[in-house]
Amino acid sequence: MKKITFTLFSCIIMLISFAQQQFIVKGKIEFERTTNIHKQLDNNSCSEMMKKSLPQYKTEYFDLYFSEDKTLYKPGKEVAQQKVPEWMSWPASDNVVFNDMHAGKFTSQKAVFENTFLVQDSLRKMDWKITPDTRTIAGFECRKATAIIMDTVFVVAFYTDQIVTPGGPESFTGLPGMILGLAIPRMNITWFATKLEMIEVKDVDAMAPKKGKKTNVADLNNQLKSSLKNWGKDGQRYIWRIMI
Protein backbone atom coordinates (compact mmCIF):
# COMPACT_ATOMS: atom_id res chain seq x y z
CA MET A 1 0.00 0.00 0.00
CA LYS A 2 2.83 2.38 0.89
CA LYS A 3 4.50 1.56 -2.42
CA ILE A 4 1.30 2.32 -4.34
CA THR A 5 0.84 5.60 -2.43
CA PHE A 6 4.43 6.64 -3.11
CA THR A 7 4.09 5.79 -6.81
CA LEU A 8 0.86 7.80 -7.06
CA PHE A 9 2.48 10.75 -5.29
CA SER A 10 5.47 10.59 -7.65
CA CYS A 11 3.16 10.59 -10.67
CA ILE A 12 1.33 13.65 -9.37
CA ILE A 13 4.60 15.51 -8.85
CA MET A 14 5.74 14.59 -12.37
CA LEU A 15 2.45 15.78 -13.86
CA ILE A 16 2.65 19.08 -11.99
CA SER A 17 6.24 19.56 -13.10
CA PHE A 18 5.31 18.74 -16.70
CA ALA A 19 2.41 21.19 -16.62
CA GLN A 20 4.63 23.92 -15.25
CA GLN A 21 7.19 23.31 -17.97
CA GLN A 22 4.56 23.30 -20.70
CA PHE A 23 2.43 26.29 -19.67
CA ILE A 24 4.52 29.25 -18.51
CA VAL A 25 2.32 32.34 -18.60
CA LYS A 26 4.18 34.94 -16.51
CA GLY A 27 7.78 35.97 -16.02
CA LYS A 28 10.73 38.02 -17.18
CA ILE A 29 13.11 37.15 -20.02
CA GLU A 30 16.51 38.75 -20.49
CA PHE A 31 17.58 39.26 -24.11
CA GLU A 32 21.09 39.90 -25.35
CA ARG A 33 21.13 42.03 -28.49
CA THR A 34 24.29 41.77 -30.58
CA THR A 35 25.14 44.09 -33.46
CA ASN A 36 27.97 43.32 -35.88
CA ILE A 37 29.49 46.78 -36.27
CA HIS A 38 32.10 45.78 -38.83
CA LYS A 39 29.47 44.49 -41.25
CA GLN A 40 27.61 47.79 -41.06
CA LEU A 41 30.60 49.65 -42.49
CA ASP A 42 31.06 50.05 -46.22
CA ASN A 43 33.83 48.12 -47.96
CA ASN A 44 36.43 50.82 -48.57
CA SER A 45 39.88 51.74 -47.31
CA CYS A 46 38.53 54.18 -44.73
CA SER A 47 36.21 51.54 -43.27
CA GLU A 48 39.02 49.01 -43.10
CA MET A 49 41.04 51.45 -41.01
CA MET A 50 38.08 52.08 -38.70
CA LYS A 51 37.60 48.36 -38.13
CA LYS A 52 41.05 48.17 -36.55
CA SER A 53 39.99 50.55 -33.77
CA LEU A 54 36.44 49.27 -33.25
CA PRO A 55 35.18 46.09 -31.60
CA GLN A 56 33.43 43.81 -34.06
CA TYR A 57 30.34 43.42 -31.89
CA LYS A 58 28.27 45.69 -29.68
CA THR A 59 26.29 43.93 -26.94
CA GLU A 60 23.23 45.32 -25.14
CA TYR A 61 20.60 43.82 -22.85
CA PHE A 62 16.82 44.13 -22.76
CA ASP A 63 14.13 42.74 -20.46
CA LEU A 64 10.80 41.34 -21.61
CA TYR A 65 8.06 41.15 -18.99
CA PHE A 66 5.11 38.97 -19.96
CA SER A 67 1.79 38.08 -18.41
CA GLU A 68 -0.84 36.03 -20.24
CA ASP A 69 -1.27 37.83 -23.59
CA LYS A 70 0.66 41.05 -22.83
CA THR A 71 4.35 41.90 -22.99
CA LEU A 72 6.59 44.84 -22.16
CA TYR A 73 10.06 45.08 -23.75
CA LYS A 74 12.50 47.67 -22.38
CA PRO A 75 16.24 48.33 -21.93
CA GLY A 76 17.84 46.10 -19.31
CA LYS A 77 21.14 46.04 -17.48
CA GLU A 78 24.02 48.17 -18.63
CA VAL A 79 27.24 46.59 -19.81
CA ALA A 80 30.80 47.77 -19.36
CA GLN A 81 31.64 50.70 -21.59
CA GLN A 82 32.30 49.56 -25.13
CA LYS A 83 34.64 51.42 -27.45
CA VAL A 84 31.93 52.40 -29.92
CA PRO A 85 31.68 56.11 -30.88
CA GLU A 86 28.39 57.83 -30.07
CA TRP A 87 27.92 58.83 -33.72
CA MET A 88 27.72 55.15 -34.63
CA SER A 89 24.66 54.60 -32.43
CA TRP A 90 21.47 54.00 -34.40
CA PRO A 91 18.24 55.92 -33.70
CA ALA A 92 15.48 54.00 -31.92
CA SER A 93 18.04 51.71 -30.27
CA ASP A 94 16.43 51.77 -26.81
CA ASN A 95 12.78 51.23 -27.62
CA VAL A 96 10.14 50.51 -24.99
CA VAL A 97 7.42 48.34 -26.54
CA PHE A 98 4.10 47.25 -25.06
CA ASN A 99 2.20 44.54 -26.94
CA ASP A 100 -1.38 43.50 -26.23
CA MET A 101 -2.02 40.36 -28.26
CA HIS A 102 -5.66 40.07 -27.15
CA ALA A 103 -6.49 43.58 -28.33
CA GLY A 104 -4.18 43.29 -31.35
CA LYS A 105 -2.49 46.61 -30.46
CA PHE A 106 0.97 47.86 -29.57
CA THR A 107 2.53 51.04 -28.17
CA SER A 108 6.19 51.78 -28.84
CA GLN A 109 8.31 54.63 -27.49
CA LYS A 110 11.11 55.49 -29.94
CA ALA A 111 13.85 58.10 -29.62
CA VAL A 112 14.61 59.20 -33.19
CA PHE A 113 17.36 61.80 -33.41
CA GLU A 114 16.08 64.79 -31.38
CA ASN A 115 12.47 63.55 -31.22
CA THR A 116 10.65 60.98 -29.11
CA PHE A 117 7.67 59.28 -30.75
CA LEU A 118 4.88 57.27 -29.16
CA VAL A 119 3.79 54.90 -31.91
CA GLN A 120 0.35 53.37 -31.37
CA ASP A 121 -1.05 50.97 -33.91
CA SER A 122 -2.23 47.44 -34.69
CA LEU A 123 0.24 44.60 -34.21
CA ARG A 124 2.37 43.87 -37.25
CA LYS A 125 0.84 41.07 -39.32
CA MET A 126 3.54 38.60 -40.31
CA ASP A 127 3.32 35.64 -42.63
CA TRP A 128 5.49 33.31 -40.57
CA LYS A 129 6.68 30.09 -42.20
CA ILE A 130 7.43 27.47 -39.54
CA THR A 131 10.19 24.97 -40.34
CA PRO A 132 11.17 21.63 -38.74
CA ASP A 133 14.54 23.04 -37.59
CA THR A 134 15.09 23.39 -33.86
CA ARG A 135 17.56 25.08 -31.52
CA THR A 136 17.95 25.16 -27.75
CA ILE A 137 17.89 28.69 -26.30
CA ALA A 138 18.07 29.47 -22.56
CA GLY A 139 17.20 25.84 -21.82
CA PHE A 140 14.12 25.74 -24.08
CA GLU A 141 13.78 23.76 -27.28
CA CYS A 142 12.75 26.26 -29.93
CA ARG A 143 11.28 25.86 -33.38
CA LYS A 144 12.54 27.95 -36.31
CA ALA A 145 10.30 30.27 -38.32
CA THR A 146 11.00 32.83 -41.05
CA ALA A 147 9.21 35.88 -42.42
CA ILE A 148 9.65 39.04 -44.50
CA ILE A 149 9.08 42.52 -43.07
CA MET A 150 9.03 45.89 -44.85
CA ASP A 151 8.77 44.07 -48.20
CA THR A 152 12.39 42.91 -48.45
CA VAL A 153 13.88 42.34 -44.96
CA PHE A 154 14.29 38.65 -44.06
CA VAL A 155 13.74 37.66 -40.42
CA VAL A 156 14.60 34.39 -38.66
CA ALA A 157 12.94 33.57 -35.34
CA PHE A 158 13.09 30.71 -32.84
CA TYR A 159 10.08 30.26 -30.56
CA THR A 160 9.07 27.92 -27.76
CA ASP A 161 5.52 26.77 -27.07
CA GLN A 162 6.52 26.11 -23.44
CA ILE A 163 6.00 29.85 -22.90
CA VAL A 164 2.51 30.33 -24.23
CA THR A 165 2.53 34.14 -24.60
CA PRO A 166 2.95 34.72 -28.37
CA GLY A 167 5.37 37.65 -28.00
CA GLY A 168 9.03 38.43 -28.51
CA PRO A 169 11.60 41.24 -28.58
CA GLU A 170 10.63 44.62 -30.05
CA SER A 171 7.26 44.34 -31.84
CA PHE A 172 7.70 40.79 -33.12
CA THR A 173 4.72 38.57 -32.31
CA GLY A 174 2.40 36.09 -33.99
CA LEU A 175 4.01 32.70 -33.42
CA PRO A 176 2.46 29.92 -31.29
CA GLY A 177 4.70 30.71 -28.33
CA MET A 178 7.39 33.09 -27.12
CA ILE A 179 10.20 34.13 -29.49
CA LEU A 180 13.50 33.51 -27.69
CA GLY A 181 15.81 34.03 -30.65
CA LEU A 182 15.62 36.54 -33.50
CA ALA A 183 18.00 37.45 -36.30
CA ILE A 184 17.79 40.08 -39.03
CA PRO A 185 20.79 39.32 -41.28
CA ARG A 186 20.36 42.39 -43.45
CA MET A 187 20.71 44.60 -40.37
CA ASN A 188 23.43 42.44 -38.78
CA ILE A 189 21.49 42.16 -35.51
CA THR A 190 20.48 39.24 -33.31
CA TRP A 191 18.47 38.89 -30.11
CA PHE A 192 18.83 35.78 -27.95
CA ALA A 193 17.30 35.06 -24.57
CA THR A 194 19.88 34.42 -21.85
CA LYS A 195 17.57 33.48 -18.98
CA LEU A 196 13.98 33.26 -17.75
CA GLU A 197 12.95 34.44 -14.29
CA MET A 198 9.69 33.04 -12.96
CA ILE A 199 8.54 36.23 -11.30
CA GLU A 200 5.03 37.55 -10.69
CA VAL A 201 4.14 40.23 -13.24
CA LYS A 202 1.07 41.92 -11.82
CA ASP A 203 0.17 44.79 -14.15
CA VAL A 204 1.90 45.03 -17.51
CA ASP A 205 -0.57 47.71 -18.65
CA ALA A 206 0.68 50.12 -15.99
CA MET A 207 4.24 49.82 -17.35
CA ALA A 208 3.31 50.73 -20.95
CA PRO A 209 5.17 53.78 -22.32
CA LYS A 210 3.25 57.05 -22.30
CA LYS A 211 5.72 59.77 -23.30
CA GLY A 212 6.36 61.03 -26.82
CA LYS A 213 4.68 62.59 -29.83
CA LYS A 214 1.76 60.35 -30.75
CA THR A 215 1.81 58.84 -34.22
CA ASN A 216 1.16 55.56 -36.04
CA VAL A 217 3.24 53.28 -38.26
CA ALA A 218 2.19 54.78 -41.60
CA ASP A 219 2.64 58.39 -40.52
CA LEU A 220 6.05 57.76 -38.93
CA ASN A 221 7.19 55.86 -42.01
CA ASN A 222 6.12 58.74 -44.26
CA GLN A 223 7.91 61.27 -42.05
CA LEU A 224 11.11 59.23 -42.18
CA LYS A 225 10.96 58.79 -45.95
CA SER A 226 10.51 62.53 -46.39
CA SER A 227 13.30 63.47 -43.95
CA LEU A 228 15.80 60.88 -45.20
CA LYS A 229 15.03 60.90 -48.93
CA ASN A 230 18.44 62.36 -49.80
CA TRP A 231 20.41 59.97 -47.59
CA GLY A 232 20.56 57.18 -50.16
CA LYS A 233 21.07 53.65 -48.85
CA ASP A 234 21.99 55.00 -45.41
CA GLY A 235 18.54 56.55 -45.18
CA GLN A 236 16.91 53.21 -45.96
CA ARG A 237 19.02 51.52 -43.28
CA TYR A 238 17.87 54.10 -40.75
CA ILE A 239 14.23 53.51 -41.66
CA TRP A 240 14.62 49.74 -41.25
CA ARG A 241 16.20 50.14 -37.83
CA ILE A 242 13.63 52.66 -36.63
CA MET A 243 10.60 50.75 -37.87
CA ILE A 244 11.41 47.30 -36.42
* Cα–Cα separations (whole angstroms), residue 211 to 74, 114, 120: 14, 14, 12
The continuous run of DSSP H or E covering 18 comes out as helix 2-22
What does pTM read for this prediction?
0.86
What mean pLDDT comes out for the span 36-57?
70
Average pLDDT of the chain is 87
Give the Cα separation of 188 and 47 in Å (integer).
16
Which residues span the domain enclosing 65? Answer: 2-243
Give the Cα separation of 236 and 244 in Å (integer).
12
Give the Cα separation of 168 and 124 in Å (integer).
12
Give the Cα separation of 95 and 91 in Å (integer).
9
Number of domains in the chain: 1
| pLDDT the model gives residue 43 | 65
pLDDT for 122-146, tens place per residue?
999 999 999 999 999 999 999 999 9
